[in-house]
Amino acid sequence: MEFYLTFLLFLIGIWGIISKENLIKKIIGLNIADSAVVLFFILIGHRYGSTAPIMEKGIKNVVDPLPQALMLTAIVIGICLTALALALVLKMYKEYQTLNISQIEKLAEDE
């Protein structure tokens, strides 16, 4: 069930990237798709009834720590990407005075 919900989230993200005209919304879509992938990785490592992988005495049933470690890296990369994308959008807004991608493409063609 969780896997299907995650997949649905991923599809929502992709729909946002493709169909939204607003550049900021496209970036939000990219972030949603990224988060869905992060959730998917966490779900792979997860088992019901297990605890966090902090190895102390008496703790036996732990989740797989590797996907979580990987996802820390992926989240950091996602933040870099989002920051750069927003900076580029800011530059484009100053240039074209709009965030609508079709209008921007039309303006760029006229140049």
Chain residues binding other proteins by CB under 8 A are 10, 13-14, 17-19, 21, 23, 26-27, 30, 33-34, 37, 40-41, 44, 66-67, 70, 73-74, 77, 80-81, 84-85, 88-89, 91-92, 95-96, 101-102, 104-105, 108, 111
Identity of the residue, 59 or 111, whose beta carbon is nearer to other proteins in the bound complex:
111
Q: How far is the CB of 20 from other proteins (least distance, A)?
A: 9
Report the 10 Å Cβ neighbour count for 2: 11
Q: How far is the CB of 58 from other proteins (least distance, A)?
A: 25
Identity of the residue, 2 or 95, whose beta carbon is nearer to other proteins in the bound complex:
95
Contact 61, 27 (CB under 8 A): no
Q: How far is the CB of 95 from other proteins (least distance, A)?
A: 4
Dist CA 30 CA 32 (whole Å): 5
Contact 6, 36 (CB under 8 A): yes
Dist CA 31 CA 79 (whole Å): 9
Q: How far is the CB of 60 from other proteins (least distance, A)?
A: 20
Tally of helices (H runs) and strands (E runs) in the chain = 4, 0
